[in-house]
Amino acid sequence: MRSIVKLIVAACVPFVVAACQTVATAAEDKHARIVNADDASRAALQTTVNDILNTQVLLADDALTDSSLLVIERNPPRTLQNPNPRGLIMETPIQFRLVINGSDCILIDERDSARYELRSTACKAE
């Protein structure tokens, strides 16, 4: 019986350690914005957002340069019968938050708190 308890404890220790590191890492996050935006940093942001959403998204050149929050709203679908749709989209917009942790710029998907490092990007705390 004791060997089973030891086995269970040994199996759980890595998860506890990883959880503690994740909490400590998130505690060091500071809201940030992109500074000195260039083609490489814009491409890194564009690629990351496209990969997360699994679609092509149109981002402004100054995205995340004035604020740490990036909000993406869905466009109404176009059809042959309605090429210029109008009306409200009632879905909650997708939100991303840019944070700095040490010297790393990290984009956080607010839907599930997933973290994505933005390479070739300089940012500073707000």
Task: For the chain, 126 residues long, give each residue's pLDDT as a single digit of tens.
Answer: 555 544 454 554 444 444 434 444 677 999 999 999 999 999 999 999 999 999 999 999 999 999 999 999 887 777 778 777 777 677 889 999 999 999 999 999 999 999 999 999 999 999
* Tokens standing for residue 37: 């935006």
Give pLDDT, residue 72: 94
pLDDT at 64: 97
Dihedral Cα 71, 46, 50, 67, nearest 10 deg: -20
The pair of structure tokens assigned to 3 is: 């060997």
| pTM for the structure as a whole | 0.72
Task: Give residue for tokens 């940030």.
Answer: 32
